[in-house]
Structure 1
Amino acid sequence: MGDQGAMYVPEYLLPVYRDKVVPLADILTPNQFEAELLTGRKITTEEDAVEVMDLLHKMGPETVVLTSSDLPSKRGDQFLVALGSQKIGEVPDQLSPDRTQKICIDIPKVDAVFVGTGDLFAALLLAWTHYHPKDLKTACEKTVSVMHHVIKRTITYAHELAGPGKRPSPAQLELRMVQSKADIENPAIVVEAKVLQKSSH
């Protein structure tokens, strides 16, 4: 729907996404800006992010991953913070109908602009949550690790094409998907997620 404070789609479509599309989704992968638009809540702390993910769960999706946020990483400004939440089943206590697993993941930043990384992230997360239906931590680690391998391979290739001291063009930065088949199928885990909570509400 948008990013960096600007919408990609006409504003009048926001209620359609919020009221019609989101309730039908099993998995939702908004960035921070989109999550704020959908819930009407600002995210300035990790606690805000947790509350926003819970609000998004209430709209329907079982799994919510904030693919990027403006929250500071504990590992420094070379990292982007993503957060996720997954419902992990019913508990007998009537007062606490839902349990969720919440995770946080620090993603290394890359100094380049790529086309299609959001789509790739969503596709990979869908695949890995199918393989690990009740283990968001592993699904996210595999998703982000594949992203890391694909982007690294793409940058290396783009710099070779551009030549020494030259900035690669958007065409040269086209994601090296076919060349990354082995990593996509069986990624070496290079990014670890941290479990924030696995609790009842």
Structure 2
Amino acid sequence: MSLTTTEAFMDEPRVLSIQSHVVHGYVGNRSAVFPMQLLGLEVDVLNTVHFSNHTGYKKFRGERMTCDQLENVIAGLEENDLLHYTHLLTGYIGNPALLRAITDTLRKLRRQNPSSLYVCDPVMGDDGKLYVSPELVDIYRDEVLPLADIITPNQFECELLSGQTLTSDADVVAACRMLHALGPRIVVVSSFTPPDEPHRLWLYASEAVTVNGRQLSNMYKMEVPRLPAYYSGTGDLFAALLLAWLAKHPTNLKLVLETVVATVQAVMRRTNDAQSANRELKLIQSRRDIESPTIVLKAQLLAGPITHVIWDARHLIEQQADGIAMLQSSGISVVVLIDEKTSAPSLATASSPVVSVSCFNESASWADVCAKARVAPGHSNIWLRSQRCAAQRWDVPPAR
């Protein structure tokens, strides 16, 4: 399955993108705006810097936006009743006062549209090197993250914001949960390299969910190819694509991740093949991969809440009732499967609904079992507890 731009947006997304701008090349808004427009979003642009080219060149010239300039532009939009945005996207800011002014802008947006989503790429550094003022780290953590819905830090930025060193899956999971507690519903760690495997590159994404009143999270993981060169603007492109596809598919983070990674990889391969001296992203040449990418790499569910238990109650039902009640007391939905030989009254101590599944046997497909139990296969983390097989956890439907 892949995503295409023929699928209509429901809420006519309109984005205010606040980040850097260059005359030549593709970083900041130059990298973000075209893909979002190509995917059907209306995008208004506010440039935090206006440079001749990105700072990776030997020289660059230009100007930086001041707080007064930002506030003046926002005031003009407000006076004309034009602050009606469904999304705010921010990238490189660099100026502590300007970052604080942008949080004020977000509050104004949410007075017009309380459901406005904020996608924040907290651009601060990479590979252990901080290239903004240290003051920005505190502002992002204490003032920006509580307002953000989605953040896309790289490994170094995630470590700065969470205060944790990332060396393993468990570290990333813990850091993401800490960041969820600060505010963001979705945390995407856009790049992670294990210290003992420097040739490998991983992406992680954690989505906070509420299950039976409990705050839990789903964690996805993808391995992505490491290309031999560095390309400025890929992080800006990634955040913009994530916003665009989530606007269309807000409940399918797994597929959105796969789609975004497919596009970014295609753009980077095309840029690498071009062998141009300046290594600017080949965005225009990649428009088909932006609109309808071919998905090759898959995201796997690394960790998530147990939301449902399907309990095969055809054997030893009297001894199982207490276990079912215990699960329910933990807020887990339990569906009990019985056949015509199972005594339903034996389940008197459990409040779980009893679903009669006379066809439930070893030859039944997983889809059949889930359909009978009224559970969407692959939608939740599901345990199957059966007397005839060991307890299993299936985060996605197993092959049958």
> By the TM > 0.5 criterion, same fold?
yes
**Structure 2 counterpart of 1:20, which letter?**
E
2:172 pairs with 1:33: no
Distance in 1 separating the partners of 2:195 and 2:303: 19
Distance in 1 separating the partners of 2:199 and 2:130: 26
Deviations 1:99-132 (A, max 9, x none): 3221000010000121101101111111122222
Q: Residue 305 of structure 2 aligns with which residue?
A: 199
Unaligned runs of 5+ in 2: 1-123, 308-400
**Structure 1 counterpart of 2:186, which letter?**
T
Match 1:189 to one of 291, 295, 298: 295
Instruction: Tell me, yes or no, if the aligned pair for 1:100 and 1:199 is still in contact at 8 Å.
Output: yes
Q: Residue 119 of structure 1 aligns with which residue?
A: 236
Instruction: Tell me, yes or no, if the aligned pair for 2:193 and 2:200 is still in contact at 8 Å.
Output: no
1:98 is paired with a residue of what secondary structure? strand
Shift of 1:200: 5.6
What percentage of residue pairs aligned between the two structures are identical? 41
Q: Residue 135 of structure 1 aligns with which residue?
A: 252
Match 1:54 to one of 177, 187, 194: 177
Q: Tell me how large the CA RMSD over aligned residues is.
A: 1.8
Unaligned runs of 5+ in 1: 159-167
Match 1:65 to one of 161, 175, 188: 188
Distance in 2 separating the partners of 1:106 and 1:197: 16
Distance in 2 separating the partners of 1:13 and 1:197: 31
TM value normalised by structure 1: 0.85
Q: Residue 179 of structure 1 aligns with which residue?
A: 285
Q: Residue 92 of structure 1 aligns with which residue?
A: 212
Shift of 1:72: 6.3
Instruction: Tell me, yes or no, if the aligned pair for 1:99 and 1:200 is still in contact at 8 Å.
Output: no
2:203 is paired with a residue of what secondary structure? strand
2:133 pairs with 1:10: yes
**Structure 2 counterpart of 1:141, which letter?**
E
Indicate the structure whose relative CO is greater, using CA pairs within 8 Å and at least 6 residues apart: 1
2:112 pairs with 1:19: no
Match 1:82 to one of 192, 203, 207: 203
Shift of 1:71: 1.9
Q: Residue 161 of structure 1 aligns with which residue?
A: none
**Structure-to-structure mapping, 1:155-170, within 5 angstroms:** 155-158=272-275, 168-169=276-277
Shift of 1:77: 5.5
1:55 is paired with a residue of what secondary structure? helix
Instruction: Tell me, yes or no, if the aligned pair for 2:194 and 2:200 is still in contact at 8 Å.
Output: no
1:79 is paired with a residue of what secondary structure? coil
Shift of 1:197: 2.1
Distance in 2 separating the partners of 1:141 and 1:77: 23
Match 1:44 to one of 167, 170, 189: 167
Instruction: Tell me, yes or no, if the aligned pair for 2:158 and 2:175 is still in contact at 8 Å.
Output: yes
**Structure 2 counterpart of 1:186, which letter?**
S
Instruction: Tell me, yes or no, if the aligned pair for 2:259 and 2:295 is still in contact at 8 Å.
Output: yes
Distance in 2 separating the partners of 1:110 and 1:197: 28
Shift of 1:198: 2.6
Deviations 1:1-57 (A, max 9, x none): 111111111112211111111111111100111111111111111011001001111
Instruction: Tell me, yes or no, if the aligned pair for 1:72 and 1:81 is still in contact at 8 Å.
Output: no
Shift of 1:79: 3.2
Number of residue-to-residue matches in the alignment? 184
